[in-house]
């Protein structure tokens, strides 16, 4: 009896570790980074090609004080204002961990950067254990772009995740024996 309780606890711990190991870091805008773009929907279109989960990280590549990142409400993204700032990153190359399910909106708060500079992005975050497909159904289809090339996929597993996954897999196999 005690052995089966130990195995159950081990399985529960492994499941939790696997969730951690699956967190992904996305470079916002891929090779373009967080900067002025011509298309008003560039960052929204980029976000639609990914499924963001709680625990994932957004890597905004930019130089401060040239740019910043403010998390704001959906209304503020639409109007390019920061009246309801949720959080702000006023330093270079912000790394933002997605901690909650639902809407997340980001702008550059500096004058003329959100509009007409198009430095704004809206995205949805799902639960870490959500089983939706890796690419949303409304993601644009077409030939690969620069962000799709090997070595520049726009996302990476967090540091140590491969080692963590290997450890979890080895422990799970040992548990089955």
The 10s digit of each residue's pLDDT in 48-74 is 999 999 999 999 999 999 999 999 999
pLDDT band at 173 (very low <50, low <70, confident <90, very high): low
Compute the average pLDDT of residues 169-177. 57
How many residues in total does the chain contain? 177
Q: Tokens 């548990």 identify what position?
A: 175
DSSP per-residue codes, 85-118:
-SEEE-SSS-EEE--SSEEEEEE--STTTTTTT-
Residue 148: DSSP 8-state: G
Q: At what angle do helices 2-21 and 161-176 cross, to 10 degrees?
A: 160
The 10s digit of each residue's pLDDT in 16-50 is 544 445 799 999 999 999 999 999 999 999 999 99
């Amino acid at each position: 009896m005690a052995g089966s309780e130990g195995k159950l606890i081990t399985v529960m711990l492994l499941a939790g570790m696997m969730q951690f190991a699956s967190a992904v870091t996305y470079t916002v805008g891929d090779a373009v980074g967080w900067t002025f773009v011509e298309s008003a929907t560039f960052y929204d279109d980029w976000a639609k090609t990914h499924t963001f989960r709680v625990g994932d990280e957004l890597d905004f590549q930019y130089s401060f004080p040239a740019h910043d990142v403010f998390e704001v409400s959906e209304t503020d993204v639409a109007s390019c204002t920061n009246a309801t700032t949720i959080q702000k990153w006023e330093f270079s190359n912000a790394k933002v961990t997605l901690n909650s399910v639902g809407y997340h909106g980001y702008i550059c708060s500096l004058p003329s950067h959100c509009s007409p500079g198009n430095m704004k992005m809206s995205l949805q975050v799902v639960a870490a254990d959500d089983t939706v497909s890796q690419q949303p159904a409304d993601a644009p289809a077409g030939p690969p772009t620069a962000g799709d090339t090997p070595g520049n996929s726009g996302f990476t597993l967090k540091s140590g995740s491969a080692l963590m996954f290997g450890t979890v897999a080895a422990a799970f196999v040992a548990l089955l024996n």
